[in-house]
Amino acid sequence: MILELMIALTAGAAMFGTGLYGALSQTNLVMIIMGVELVLAAALVNLVAFWRYLHPEEPAAQMFVLIIMAVMAVEMTVGFGIAIARFRSRGSVEMEEARELKG
């Protein structure tokens, strides 16, 4: 059982590191959103791994998983909405060109 936990935590840490690198190193808004999604997915993997290892009989962690999934969906929707609006107005989604974000 401890081996499965270590495998899940290692996978979560790798996902978190990849997402953090992707979110901090990219200049394209879509790639930054994808990095943030990967960080949230890593948190979800770690949450499920700890829940399964520590308290598999309690359903409370399932609500946290649903909340994180809802936050991921909202973040993705808002981020892509901003990216589409930015592309329509300026023709680019590069963050280096987005110095001012006025309405």
CATH no. of 2-97: 1.10.287.3510
DSSP line for 52-73: HHH-TT-THHHHHHHHHHHHHH
Q: 11 is written with which tokens?
A: 């996978």
Residue 103: which pLDDT band, with cuts at 50, 70 and 90?
A: low
**What mean pLDDT is reported for the chain?**
88
Mean pLDDT of 13-23: 96
Residue 6: which pLDDT band, with cuts at 50, 70 and 90?
A: very high
Give per-residue pLDDT as tens, 43-89: 999 989 988 888 888 888 788 888 889 989 998 999 899 889 888 98
pLDDT of residue 60: 81
CA distance 12 to 38: 10
**Domain edges within the chain:** 2-97
Q: Is the pLDDT of residue 101 over 70?
A: no
Tell me, yes or no, if the pTM score tops 0.85: no
From the list 61, 47, 46, the residue with the least C-alpha distance to 13 is 46
